[in-house]
């Protein structure tokens, strides 16, 4: 109990999450007479970071940075507008389609919401969409980032749960498409209610072909990543390196990227990578200490006393992840909670790949739920709309994603079928 008090107390005081986790581990050692383990902390730090899968993190961060600064994301927006912009509420569908394409490149919900908010919300307002609705579509569609591969959260889960990353990437494809369909259904329902959505403006055939040709190359980046991994030609780390090279070549070819920007990009990637790996190292110390004291075993016994149903357990995990996700960043939640829960997952016979998809989806919903909800704050600034109206407009979309999450938890084949077909699981 004192460990939890120290951890949350430091967080509320504005302490960095890395420090709060490490302080919690040290307090747990001290309160359980495990001070002899202090000397082993550096070894645990090193061991946690000596994992090949971590190399994929800076590579996919690099892909996202180059895409944003090289104008490739804007080309995806233009392609989406050509494909679905002619329907009623076409720009809302274009927002969703662009997010689905960008999700396979950016891999981070926060990064995706930030990019799409700057691009889509002002454009939707110009075309007559309400500010709250524009923000709601952008925020909810941004949740696709950690689901559709390549996903940063899937990499983190694979590292902390000691699972292969390639099957996790592939496992996100079907759930991601399911979420796209559910969000599209919500937009369609809005369009049925009177004149709540503006009519679409079809692109002229000659202009449409020009846009499609210009946008086809950036759209090939996720195809190369997914096909390369599924075919066994590339590991996730190698696919990240290939994607970064393709993005860099395209950005230079479109003459929208200057070499002077490269140092700033590399600095941003280095800082973000250090932040993530620091969290992983600190959490590994906490998990190691808890395992040394037998906490995971006691947790298995406790949950076994509550339920022996895999579905009931997954629903409990969803509630836990949603609650923690309201206050903590998604990566932090996964790093802290997943190692503790994995023995329970094994004991109940739950497929760890399926568990990874459920955990990732449940955690990311916290990004758009008060009181913290960083995704909401980003959209609030871009749409210039208060939290209340924005969150109310987001609720139908969140309900749709939550329904998808429950369905995926109840039907493991939705996340395990494709990895099995690809031969990676």
DSSP one-letter string for 144-209 = TTTTSSS-HHHHHHHHHTT--HHHHHHHTHHHHHHHHHHHHHHHHHHHHSTT-SPPP-PPPHHHHH
- 104 versus 159: which is more confidently predicted? 159
Kindly tell me if the per-residue pLDDT of 47 is higher than 90.
no
**By C-alpha distance, which of 263, 249, 219, 265 is closest to 105?**
219
Mean pLDDT of 186-192: 84
Kindly tell me if the per-residue pLDDT of 182 is higher than 90.
yes
Mean pLDDT of 237-265: 82
Q: State whether the Cα torsion 107-111-114-115 is positive or negative.
A: negative
* CA 353 – CA 425 distance, rounded (Å): 8
What was the pLDDT predicted at 281? Answer: 80
CA distances from 84 to 45, 126, 288 (A): 49, 18, 50
Q: Contact at 8 Å (CB) between 424 and 170? A: yes
CA distances from 348 to 298, 345, 414 (A): 15, 5, 19
Q: Contact at 8 Å (CB) between 183 and 177? A: no
Q: Contact at 8 Å (CB) between 239 and 228? A: yes
Global pTM reads 0.76
pLDDT band at 81 (very low <50, low <70, confident <90, very high): low
Nearest 5 degrees, angle CA 318-CA 319-CA 322?
80
**By C-alpha distance, which of 278, 276, 282, 241 is closest to 56?**
241
**By C-alpha distance, which of 104, 152, 101, 86 is closest to 356?**
152
Kindly tell me if the per-residue pLDDT of 373 is higher than 70.
no
Most confident of 200-204, 378-382, 383-387, 396-400: 396-400
pLDDT band at 11 (very low <50, low <70, confident <90, very high): low
pLDDT band at 347 (very low <50, low <70, confident <90, very high): confident
- 270 versus 307: which is more confidently predicted? 270
What was the pLDDT predicted at 408? Answer: 95
Nearest 5 degrees, angle CA 421-CA 182-CA 116?
100
**By C-alpha distance, which of 369, 348, 366, 368 is closest to 412?**
348
Kindly tell me if the per-residue pLDDT of 196 is higher than 70.
no
* CA 54 – CA 7 distance, rounded (Å): 26
Both tokens assigned to 63: 């892909």
Mean pLDDT of 283-309: 74
Query: How many Cβ atoms from other residues are within 10 Å of residue 376's Cβ?
Result: 22
Both tokens assigned to 263: 């140092």
What was the pLDDT predicted at 293? Answer: 74
* CA 245 – CA 59 distance, rounded (Å): 10
**Coil, strand or helix at 358:** helix
In this structure, of 52-66, 197-211, 334-348, the range with the lowest mean pLDDT score is: 197-211
């Amino acid at each position: 109990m004192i460990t939890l008090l120290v951890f949350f107390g430091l967080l509320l005081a504005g302490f960095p999450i890395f420090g709060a986790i490490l302080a919690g581990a040290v307090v747990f050692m001290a309160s359980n007479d495990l001070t002899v383990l202090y000397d082993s902390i550096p070894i645990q730090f090193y061991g946690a970071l000596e994992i090949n899968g971590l190399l994929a993190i800076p590579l996919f961060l690099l892909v996202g940075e180059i895409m944003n600064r090289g104008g490739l994301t804007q080309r995806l927006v233009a392609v989406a507008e050509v494909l679905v912009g002619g329907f009623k509420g076409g720009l809302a569908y274009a927002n969703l389609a662009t997010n689905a394409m960008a999700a396979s490149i950016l891999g981070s919900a926060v990064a995706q919401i930030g990019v799409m908010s700057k691009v889509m919300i002002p454009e939707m307002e110009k075309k007559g969409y309400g500010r709250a609705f524009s923000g709601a579509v952008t925020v909810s569609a941004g949740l696709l980032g950690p689901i559709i591969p390549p996903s940063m959260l899937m990499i983190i889960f694979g590292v902390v749960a000691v699972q292969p990353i390639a099957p996790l990437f592939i496992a996100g494809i079907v759930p991601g498409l399911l979420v796209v369909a559910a969000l599209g259904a919500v937009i369609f329902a809005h369009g049925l209610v009177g004149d709540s959505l503006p009519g679409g403006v079809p692109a002229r055939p000659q202009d449409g072909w020009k846009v499609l040709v210009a946008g086809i190359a950036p759209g090939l980046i996720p195809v190369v990543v997914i096909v390369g991994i599924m075919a066994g030609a590339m590991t996730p780390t190698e696919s990240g390196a290939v994607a970064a090279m393709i993005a860099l070549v395209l950005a230079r070819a479109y003459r929208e990227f200057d070499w002077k920007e490269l140092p700033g990009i590399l600095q941003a990637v280095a800082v973000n990578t250090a932040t993530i790996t620091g969290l992983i190292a600190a959490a590994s110390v906490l998990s190691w200490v808890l395992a040394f004291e037998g906490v995971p075993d006691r947790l298995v016994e406790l949950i076994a006393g509550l339920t022996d149903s895999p579905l009931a357990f997954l629903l409990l995990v969803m509630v836990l992840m949603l609650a923690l996700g309201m206050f903590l960043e998604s990566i932090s939640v996964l790093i802290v909670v997943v190692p503790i829960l994995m023995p329970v997952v094994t004991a109940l016979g739950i497929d760890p790949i399926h568990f990874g998809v459920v955990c990732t989806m449940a955690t990311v919903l916290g990004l758009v739920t008060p009181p913290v909800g960083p995704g909401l704050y980003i959209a609030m600034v871009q749409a210039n709309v208060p939290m209340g109206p924005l969150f109310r407009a987001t609720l139908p979309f969140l309900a749709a994603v939550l329904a998808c999450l429950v369905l995926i938890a109840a039907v493991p084949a939705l996340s395990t079928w494709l990895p099995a077909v690809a031969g990676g699981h």
